Amino acid sequence: MKQTNDGPRPSAATRILPVAGRRVIVCSGTGCKANGSEAVYAAFVDAIEAAGAKVAVEFKHEGHQDGVPVTRSGCQGICSQAPLVTILPENILYMRVKPADVAEIVSATLGEGKVIDRLLYRKVDTGEACRGAQEIPFLHRQTHVVLRDVGTLDPENLDEYLRLGGYEAARKAFTSMTPEQICAEIGRSGLRGRGGGGFPTGRKWDAARQQPGAKKYVICNADEGDPGAFMNCSVMEGNPHSVIEGLMIAARAIGADEAYVYIRAEYPLAVRRMKKAV
Ligand code: FES
């Protein structure tokens, strides 16, 4: 592959350690892309190949990995430090990574198992270095539910979503539940709207289900007009299939056979990933 950065390349002596579960995840959310993450991704491909190893652009959960997986993700949750790179299985999180840093990451971290201190997050109060999200106070206090797989899952890889159990809930809804049962289960789950009003989703779906009419639609309002809100954008960019699966379940619950997603034009990455997922 063509050299795409001006930084140093790993020396011919670099050998990448065979580590189970190895994966390099370059954040490819809007914040990181705007700060050059695509050049960082290309630099990883170059550097790994320069070290004599193969690059796998898809991660295989079964462990039959032919090459070092280098994948993209949605927002890893701390855009102020973009671009971010996560190295698995050690869960090392590097911040503000430049293409010129990549050869060192490949030779030191992938080649020798060493952590590069200067690329780690530092606690604001003590200056202490944090190896990964699990040590960063802003991140480790969060419990992700909707965003559970955002930041690790490759949003453009349907197989990965399926391997993580994706579309199983939709299968269940369509094959073994009635619309009434779905509305009741959603009601019991406590799920509410996330736009501020917090209206119970189960009640909303059940009201729509009971409306007369031969033709019904599901409309997903992903516009998030509130200032500074990016929750819808993060889901669509980081796990678009989860939005589609939710639409499928909602359609089954209310008896719709068509769905629309309203996305603002200022979210071109979300539009592209949703289109690809469809
Ligand atoms: S887009 Fe990369 S951390 Fe948010």
Q: What is the CATH number of the domain that holds 219?
A: 3.40.50.11540
Pair (135, 30) in one structural domain: yes
Q: What is the DSSP letter of 7?
A: S
Ligand 1 neighbourhood includes 29 CB (under 6 angstroms): yes
| Protein residue closest via CA to atom 3 of ligand 1 | 79
Ligand 1 neighbourhood includes 82 CB (under 6 angstroms): yes
Is the model's pTM score more than 0.85? yes
Q: What is the CATH number of the domain that holds 69?
A: 3.40.30.10
Q: Is the dihedral of CA 240, 132, 21, 72 positive or negative?
A: positive
Question: Would you say 85 and 40 are in contact if contact means Cβ atoms under 8 Å apart?
Answer: yes
Q: How confident is the model at residue 66 (pLDDT cuts 50, 70, 90)?
A: confident
Residue 19 pLDDT:
87
On the question of pLDDT at 10 being above 70, the answer is no
Ligand 1 neighbourhood includes 233 CB (under 6 angstroms): no
On the question of pLDDT at 62 being above 70, the answer is no
CA 27 to ligand 1: nearest atom:
2
On the question of pLDDT at 196 being above 90, the answer is no
Total structural domains in the chain? 2
Ligand 1 pocket test target in 25, 26, 27, 71 with most atoms within 8 Å of CB: 27
What is the distance in A from the centroid of ligand 1 to the CA of 207? 38
- Give the structural domain span for 241: 166-277
d(CA 137, CA 159): 33
Pair (126, 177) in one structural domain: no
In a domain, 184, yes or no: yes
Ligand 1 neighbourhood includes 40 CB (under 6 angstroms): no
In a domain, 133, yes or no: yes
Residue 2 pLDDT:
43
Pair (195, 233) in one structural domain: yes
On the question of pLDDT at 3 being above 50, the answer is no
Q: What does the pLDDT average to over 133-139?
A: 93
Question: Would you say 58 and 70 are in contact if contact means Cβ atoms under 8 Å apart?
Answer: no
- What phi and psi, each to the nearest 5 degrees, are found at residue 194? -105, 10
Ligand 1 neighbourhood includes 79 CB (under 6 angstroms): yes
Pair (28, 126) in one structural domain: yes
On the question of pLDDT at 6 being above 60, the answer is no
Q: Is the dihedral of CA 229, 234, 236, 242 positive or negative?
A: negative
On the question of pLDDT at 22 being above 70, the answer is yes
